[in-house]
Amino acid sequence: MRLDALVGIAMLNGHDPREAREYAKYDLEILALLHNAL
């Protein structure tokens, strides 16, 4: 999934757009950890 898509998801989840990219980075890391765990 592209980072900009994750930023959009973070914004939809109610995060400030200026902070959304940081949240998206954390979400991307969590998704990667989950993917590696499976």
State residue 32's pLDDT score. 83
**Dihedral (CA of 17, 11, 6, 8) sign:** negative
Can you read off the two tokens belonging to residue 20?
């959304």
- Taking CA atoms, 27 is separated from 2, 19, 35, 36, in Å, by 12, 12, 12, 14
Element (H, E) at 18: helix 17-37
Considering only CA atoms, which of 20, 17, 24, 22 is closest in space to residue 1?
24
| pTM, 2 dp | 0.40
Q: Divide the 38 residues of the chain into consecutive groups of 10 and give the mean pLDDT of each group.
A: 70 69 77 80
